Chain A
Amino acid sequence: DGGITQSPKYLFRKEGQNVTLSCEQNLNHDAMYWYRQDPGQGLRLIYYSQIVNDFQKGDIAEGYSVSREKKESFPLTVTSAQKNPTAFYLCASSITSGVEQYFGPGTRLTVT
């Protein structure tokens, strides 16, 4: 089955802990993206990667970090520096940057 997987679906953490969200795709897409969605809001871009070993900050990168060591994988780490980490996190990919994006099912992160 081709697609984008995110795990886990729900994640709970204590304040002050770093947490890593997984995103894997088997679509052979070069570009991958991380978005954050808050209740009643649209999506905001955190980081994106146009190709392996390369990534750029999006609009709200502070408190987050990423890596792109493999084409299939683009993990997102939410660090303790992120002031309001509780949100719904969505990963996406596209054949190349700037064209149609496809989304994973998302991870709901709750930090207390």
Chain B
Amino acid sequence: GIQVEQSPPDLILQEGANSTLRCNFSDSVNNLQWFHQNPWGQLINLFYIPSGTKQNGRLSATTVATERYSLLYISSSQTTDSGVYFCAVNAGNNRKLIWGLGTSLAVNP
């Protein structure tokens, strides 16, 4: 089945810094989502982005479907950005989301 790999696994930033998180997938996908899991466990939808580029405030995402990767950009990071960022995809007739293991981000004041 399709594999999803996220990098880096861990990231520590100083408040105000920018960062790029990467999600590689091993096959063509129908859908791709980025989530932020906050310290209380809530999964927050960031982007639904099977292809192209989207922006939402300080966050933006780009998926290059032909090269099988997606990038999540965080600019001017804040302490509230801390948590785990997950990428999840589904492909073909598979209705299930396949999840990466996440990038754990800590933003220090």
Contact = CB atoms under 8 A, between A and B. Distances in A.
21 contacts: A41-B101, A42-B86, A42-B99, A42-B101, A43-B97, A45-B96, A45-B97, A48-B96, A58-B96, A88-B41, A100-B31, A100-B45, A101-B33, A101-B97, A102-B45, A103-B35, A103-B42, A105-B40, A105-B42, A106-B42, A106-B43
Interface of B: 30-31, 33, 35, 40-43, 45, 48, 86, 88, 90, 94-97, 99-102
A37 to B, nearest CB: 8
Contacts of A50: 95
A100 B99 contact: no
Count class of interface residues, chain A:
20 to 34
Contacts of B97: 43, 45, 101
SS class, residues of chain A in contact with chain B: strand
Most-contacted residue by chain B among A44, A45, A101 (CB, 10 A) = A101
